[in-house]
Amino acid sequence: MKTDNLLVGILAIVAGVLVLWMPSILTWVVGLFLIVYGILTLAGKR
């Protein structure tokens, strides 16, 4: 689980930097997150 937390932290930092660098990418990130979350929820993984 420690590796998962480390990976999530790194991804969060990279995503934050990208959003600050290119604010227009925020809508794409949110959209992709919602699509993936919805698919995982429907598949019963979450």
- Put simply, whether the predicted model's pTM sits higher than 0.85 gets the answer no
Task: Give the model's pLDDT for residue 2.
Answer: 64
Give yes or no for a contact between 15 and 22, defined as CB atoms under 8 angstroms apart: no
pLDDT at 19: 73
- Measured distance CA(43)–CA(38) in Å, rounded: 9
- Domain spans of the chain, in order of start: 3-44
Residues of the chain with pLDDT under 70: 1-3, 45-46
The residue whose two tokens read 């990418």 is: 25
What's the first-to-final CA gap in the chain, in angstroms?
17
- Where do the H-state alpha helices sit in 1-46? 2-21, 25-43
